[in-house]
Amino acid sequence: MNEFTLNALATFPDQLDALFATFPEHKKHWRPDNWDGIPSESLTALEQLCHVRDIEIDGYHVRIDRTLNESHPLLISLDTYRLRNERHYERTAAADAITAFREARLQTLAKISSLSEKQWDRSANFEGYGKVTLRGIVHYLASHDQQHLAGMQWLLAKLHVPQA
């Protein structure tokens, strides 16, 4: 795996935390009237934190483990909005969400830090993406991170729309 992607994965928790901190406290639960153009799921700033935590743990940890330990497994996509509702993201303390995410990301990095080329080339079928290698799964994870930074930047832009 290339160092750029590994570094992006390692630095993402700090970027996410710093970007979340730029939201005014009273806007961390804010929802715009219109979600058109959002580059991530339609989630508030706090919900974005909870989502990346849950996708890391329930999504990517499982996907990495299954790809390493099973023969060409089917890796399912998770229903973001079902998780948001069932886990009551709106009642989650932001500090708890980011702490849990940081711990989960360290576990992800530990899982992938010493893989062999043969392990990186293990394959799976990722629902919504098709055939993929473990290397590809990790690239999708890095892409997912960037998607949520973009979603939070989009929310900040919407916060600054001039009022008529």
B/e letters for 56-84, b = 16+ CB within 10 Å, e = fewer, are bbebbeebbebbbeeeebebeeeebeebb
* Paired sense of beta strands 74-75 and 123-126, if any: parallel
Domains of the chain in start order, with CATH, are: 3-159 (1.20.120.450)
In this structure, the number of other CB atoms found within 10 A of the CB of residue 18 comes to 9
Q: What is the pLDDT of residue 164?
A: 65
Residue 124 is predicted with a pLDDT of: 98
- The 3-state DSSP class for residue 22 equals coil
What confidence score (pLDDT) does residue 161 get? 84
Q: What is the pLDDT of residue 56?
A: 98
Give residue 127's pLDDT: 97
Assigned token pair, 112: 């992938």
Alpha-carbon gap, residue 153 to 45, rounded angstroms: 10
pLDDT of residue 11: 98
User: Per-residue pLDDT for the chain (164 aa), expressed as one digit of tens each?
Assistant: 899 999 999 999 999 999 999 999 999 999 999 999 999 999 999 999 999 999 999 999 999 999 999 999 999 999 999 999 999 999 999 999 999 999 999 999 999 999 999 999 999 999 999 999 999 999 999 999 999 999 999 999 999 888 76
